[in-house]
């Protein structure tokens, strides 16, 4: 029964450590250790426990991990980096025109310019991010 408790502690620790890595490897090893804990509680044979751990872990890493990574990290509709900012709302901190200005976007101050050459947007006006050009948010007045 002591081996089952050790496998259980290792399994829970690995699953908890996955929070720091986010790579879906430690959680697979943790589930394998939990399977070995179940095996240890039933059989008590350390060789069988190690085999259960190995088969479960390798099977999960080879079969389940790629599916989970596709689903959670690169699924359709998941926008990352500057693409995630397109279409979001911001508030102008200073007058923004085609030459420049500043907006508060996602809690951060960004350089900004307007999409249209003649457009001038006063301070404290809500705007929509149309594109990100380098470190500059290209904005237009919010509808």
Asked if pLDDT for residue 140 goes beyond 80, the answer is: yes
DSSP letter (8 states) at residue 127: E
pLDDT of residue 127: 93
Which residue ranges does the chain devote to CATH 2.40.50.140? 81-141
Rg (Cα) of the chain, in Å, rounded? 26
Residues 137 and 93: beta-carbon distance below 8 Å: no
3-state SS, residue 119: coil
CB-CB neighbours of 95 under 10 Å: 14
The closest alpha carbon to 86, from 129, 142, 143, belongs to 129
- Measured CA to CA, the distance from residue 18 to residue 24 in angstroms comes to 7
- pLDDT tens column, 17-43: 988 887 889 999 999 999 999 999 999
Share in percent of the chain as helix, strand, coil (round to 5): 50, 25, 30
Two tokens, residue 58: 């390798």
User: Phi then psi for 52, rounded to 5 degrees?
Assistant: -60, -45
CATH architecture of the domain 81-141 equals Beta Barrel (2.40)
pLDDT of residue 72: 75
pLDDT of residue 69: 82
Asked if pLDDT for residue 116 goes beyond 90, the answer is: no
Alpha carbon 10 to its chain centroid, in Å, reads 25
Asked if pLDDT for residue 115 goes beyond 90, the answer is: no
Residues 114 and 127: beta-carbon distance below 8 Å: no
- Measured CA to CA, the distance from residue 90 to residue 101 in angstroms comes to 13
């Amino acid at each position: 029964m002591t081996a089952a408790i050790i496998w259980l502690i290792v399994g829970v620790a690995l699953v908890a450590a996955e929070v720091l890595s986010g790579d879906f490897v430690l959680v697979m090893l943790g589930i394998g250790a939990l399977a070995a804990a179940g095996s240890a509680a039933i059989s008590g044979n350390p060789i069988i426990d190690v085999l259960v751990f190995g088969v479960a872990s390798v099977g999960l890493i080879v079969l389940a991990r790629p599916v989970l990574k596709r689903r959670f990290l690169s699924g359709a509709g998941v926008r990352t980096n500057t693409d995630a900012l397109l279409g979001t709302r911001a508030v102008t901190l200073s007058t923004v025109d085609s030459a420049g200005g500043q907006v508060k976007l996602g809690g951060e101050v960004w350089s900004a310019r307007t999409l249209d050459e003649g457009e001038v947007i006063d301070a404290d006006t809500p705007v929509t991010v149309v594109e990100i050009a380098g470190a500059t948010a290209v904005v237009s007045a919010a509808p």
